[in-house]
């Protein structure tokens, strides 16, 4: 694909500084820019690359003040990161779209397959499955009985969707992810100190515009539904327990886990390796720093929490200042004890 600076600026409603006719065929990071590539610069800490990059076109923010002359053509926009994402989406849309059913694969006779759907080789589509228009099922995907998948949703290779689950429109589920495996439900048996499995008879509901990273697990409910609300973005290696509800537009970074029956509010931001205990409530807009351990409900909206157990960010930082001073405090205490002849 080949685009001129003028074409790109028109698409983004941006302002050109430089050669409007210069052409690009690829995208790149600004520090790796080569002639014929397009990149962006939104974070000020990368500004020095703007003066050395060999990229032909760079998208920058309107408020950027140059401290040196630049060689690439600039396209100024209100938000360079957002504009570059829009361009990548456009670029991706030009890729050839697969359709049809590859062989060998199995599609049940009573499954309903929407127009322009793609089913890759070695996939298994069970009884009463409903696939919407433009659904893409890549090779080695398993879809269990009575599953419904909305239009334009993509399941990448090796994804497993267990029976009775519902996935909305415009979702992306990456390779190795399992949707609808049994929740971790076992009843302790006092007579022999053993555990009896509790049947998990619910399902998983994933609403529209959700993306789930590779090798993640969303467990089915014991009864009712585990629910991932619209717009949620889950990173790789995420564990969502049975009967959990994750609110709209919440984002969660890798290796985080939410235990059973916890309700996460909308618009939350959860860092990597965060652990949330079961049967809790996390209010809307809460931000949890990496490695935070949540063992009590967070009821205040837009709270910023960190630490294990979780506490208010400001309180945590005050404690951390004291923690860093502990060696000095110990020396001072030892000196006082020595002066007072205290053993």
pLDDT in tens, 157-205: 999 999 999 999 999 999 999 999 999 999 998 888 899 999 999 999 9
Residues designated as active site: 242
Is pTM, for the whole model, over 0.75?
A: yes
For the chain, which domains are there? 3-93 (3.40.1390.10), 100-315 (2.160.10.10)
Reported as a single tens digit per residue, the pLDDT across 55-90 is 999 999 999 999 999 999 999 999 999 999 998 888
Element (H, E) at 314: helix 313-324
Instruction: List per-block mean pLDDT (blocks of 10 residues) for the chain, which spans 343 residues.
Output: 91 95 93 94 93 95 93 96 89 82 96 96 98 97 98 98 98 98 92 90 98 98 97 98 98 97 98 97 97 96 95 89 88 86 70
List CB contacts of 49: < 8 A, sequence separation 6 or more.
30, 31, 33, 41
Cβ contact 209:230 at 8 Å: yes
CA distance 208 to 280: 25
DSSP 181-241: PPP--EEEETTTTEEEEPP---EEEE-TT-EE-TT-EEPPPSSSEEEE-TT-EE-SS-EE-
Question: Among 188, 209, 310, 220, which Cα is nearest to 256's?
Answer: 310
- State the DSSP H helix or E strand holding residue 80, giving kind and residue range, or none if neither: helix 80-93
Tokens encoding 311? 């506490």
Whole-number pLDDT of residue 160:
98
- Rounded Cα distance between 16 and 34, Å, is 19
If one counts every other C-beta atom within 10 angstroms of the C-beta of residue 157, the result is 16
Question: Within a 10 A sphere around the Cβ of 97, how many other Cβ atoms?
Answer: 10
């Amino acid at each position: 694909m080949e685009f001129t600076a003028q074409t790109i600026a028109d698409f983004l409603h941006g302002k050109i500084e430089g050669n409007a006719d210069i052409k690009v065929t690829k995208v790149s990071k600004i520090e790796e820019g080569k002639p014929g590539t397009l990149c962006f610069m939104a974070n000020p800490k990368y500004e020095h690359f703007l003066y050395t990059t060999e990229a032909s076109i760079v998208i920058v923010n309107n408020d950027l003040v140059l401290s040196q002359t630049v060689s690439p053509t600039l396209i100024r926009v209100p938000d360079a990161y957002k504009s570059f994402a829009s361009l990548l989406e456009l670029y991706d849309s030009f890729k050839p779209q697969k359709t049809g059913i590859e062989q060998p694969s199995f599609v049940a006779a009573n499954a309903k397959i929407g127009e322009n759907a793609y089913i890759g080789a070695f996939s298994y589509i069970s009884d009463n499955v409903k696939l919407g228009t433009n659904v893409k099922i890549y090779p080695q995907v398993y879809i269990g009985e009575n599953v419904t998948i909305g239009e334009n949703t993509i399941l990448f290779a090796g994804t497993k969707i267990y029976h009775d689950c519902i996935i909305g429109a415009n979702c992306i589920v990456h390779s190795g992810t399992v949707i609808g495996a049994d929740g971790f439900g076992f009843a302790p048996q006092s007579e022999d100190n053993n555990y009896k499995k509790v049947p998990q008879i619910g399902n998983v509901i994933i609403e529209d515009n959700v993306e789930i990273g590779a090798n993640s697990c969303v467990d089915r409910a014991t009864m009712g539904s585990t629910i991932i609300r619209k717009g949620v973005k889950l990173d790789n290696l995420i564990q969502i327990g049975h009967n959990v509800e994750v609110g709209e537009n919440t984002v969660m970074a890798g290796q985080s886990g939410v235990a059973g029956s916890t309700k996460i509010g909308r618009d939350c931001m959860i860092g990597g390796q965060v652990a949330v205990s079961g049967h809790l409530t996390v209010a809307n807009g809460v931000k949890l720093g990496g490695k935070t351990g949540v063992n009590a409900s967070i009821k205040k909206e837009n709270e910023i929490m960190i630490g294990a157990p979780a506490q208010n960010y400001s309180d945590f930082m005050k404690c951390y200042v004291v923690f860093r001073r502990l060696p000095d405090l110990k020396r001072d205490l030892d000196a006082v004890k020595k002066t007072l002849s205290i053993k």
